[in-house]
Structure 1
Amino acid sequence: MEALVSSCVVLPCSFKYPAQQQPSSRIKAMWHMKDNKEEFIYHNDPTKVLDNFKGRTKLIGSLGDLNCSLEIDEVKNHDNGPYCFRVELETSKIDKYSFVHNCVTINMIEQASKPELHAEMSVQEGQSTVFRCSVRHTCPSHQPTLSWNHSGKTIMSYKDIGHGKWEAESLLTFTPTKEDNHKSITCTVKYHGSVRGEMQATQPIFVKEQATLNHIIIPAISSLGAALLVGLLCFFVVKRYK
């Protein structure tokens, strides 16, 4: 797993146990340090959570649906783990299960990378153009937002790309004018938390001017005039030497 320092991260988690499936209210869940099962980063009883994790962790899945996903907020550069999940059922004192062979280690990312901006540098005046901007992240509970420095129709979407990673994408659609020529399109990302790093991606655009009636008529008249002039000169030259 990867996590962006100062933002948040969700550790995706699902589990099974041999006993009869129980509702969330009858399941006690814990996340603990791998080296010490009594050092909890999450516990049903908040007083048992380590001081440096208090108020920063919460389950975002339903235990009754066997979802034990954990959110860690305000990620610190020492929140590496590894962390393990443990569950206890209220049905019996022996129904306790520790998943110490499936613990999670987090790789810390100190600074954000700039968004990826995809677009044609050369666009046609008067024709609708689409610009795409995207970032990858590991905190679906607090999705990043993407904004543009140009007006137009925007569509924001999010998708799970697997292994705990998500992609946020924004599409900007607008019709370029000649005033847009040599201007820059900028996409800006805003993450949850006080994240550092490159937050903008910029690309210049060059607008190919749309052909107008004047562009067609004037060259045509010029060509016709030149042809008539050459024709007249040839006529007078031929007439002179007859």
Structure 2
Amino acid sequence: IVKKKIIILIHSSFSAILVGLSGSCVLIPCRFSYPENGKTYTEFKGIWFKGNEESTVYHTDASNIIDSFKGRTSLNGDLGKNDCSLKISSLSSSDAGSFIFRTEIKDLANIMEKMMEKTLDILSTICVSSPETPENPNVSVEEEVTSGKPVTATCAVSHSCPSDLPKVTWSHDGKQSSPSQPQNHGQWKLTSYSLTFTPSREDHNKHLSCTAEFKGKTVTDYKTLKVKCKSAIIYYCFSRLLKHYNQAFEL
């Protein structure tokens, strides 16, 4: 008796346009299900195609992958746990297009033979576009800070690749914390960086900037600091203000 092998094309977890930054990576989320009928299956073969079934971008047997994707794709999930998510590294604009997943499950043929014989349905495709310029970060800090009192600012950075975080720098000295765990933000991941610093009167009306560097591409955001004096030094601040006023008046 020859056992047939059933080929099933599976839904990705959503059908949408994913955006990955050129030079970075993108993660295509994907989950699948199949009728287990009380049995456990342990042998899975995962295959990802680009555009059609002639261009294999990921295969359990790496020799089947087309040259332009060799060494750049990997399964981010475990097929045995129904996770078929694909990671594509070193993105370029030529990677844009539709991607389709297919799995082959050993011994499932006996159960599915009558139901799926000669059936091949493409349920979902995903397009990946690759912009050349990353999104600007977003700096948050209190609208008004107090001289001599520590304050914490945050810088939220959007990216498509949690394993390849950008390099983030601040324009002000202070204690920087480790980046937060990436949070889902639509199709992008959102990572927050924080800076705790003590403003001084010299910081008034100066920019607090956060710069994110992605593979040589740099983007920046800033907020203008508004620094007020603590009550203990109000007199000093007022004296300086009065001095500047008198100088201006003399002119």
Instruction: Classify the TM-score, shorter chain.
Output: 0.7 to 0.9
- Using the size of structure 1 for normalisation, the TM-score is 0.76
Give the superposed CA RMSD: 2.7
Tell me the equivalent position of 2:147: 125
Distance change >3 Å, CA 90–CA 195, structure 1 → 2 = farther
Match runs of 1:21-170 below 5 Å:
21-23=40-42, 26-34=43-51, 36-91=52-107, 100-120=122-142, 122-155=144-177, 156-161=179-184, 163-170=186-193
Distance change >3 Å, CA 60–CA 99, structure 1 → 2 = farther
Secondary structure at the counterpart of residue 37 of structure 1: coil
Distance change >3 Å, CA 166–CA 112, structure 1 → 2 = same
Letter in 2 for 1:149: S
Q: Distance in 2 between matches of 1:92 and 1:54?
A: 29
Gap runs ≥5 in structure 1: 220-242
Tell me the equivalent position of 1:8: 25
Tell me the equivalent position of 2:194: 171
Tell me the equivalent position of 2:225: 205
Tell me the equivalent position of 1:184: 207
Letter in 2 for 1:63: L
Q: Distance in 2 between matches of 1:29 and 1:74?
A: 21
Q: How many residues align?
A: 212
- Using the size of structure 2 for normalisation, the TM-score is 0.74
Secondary structure at the counterpart of residue 4 of structure 1: coil
Tell me the equivalent position of 1:236: none
Letter in 2 for 1:169: S
Q: Distance in 1 between matches of 2:137 and 2:180?
A: 15
Letter in 2 for 1:167: L
Secondary structure at the counterpart of residue 127 of structure 2: coil
Gap runs ≥5 in structure 2: 1-17, 240-251
User: CA contact under 8 A between 1:145 and 1:168: conserved in structure 2?
Assistant: no
Q: Distance in 1 between matches of 2:172 and 2:75?
A: 39
Tell me the equivalent position of 1:230: none
Percent identity for Structure 1 against Structure 2: 30
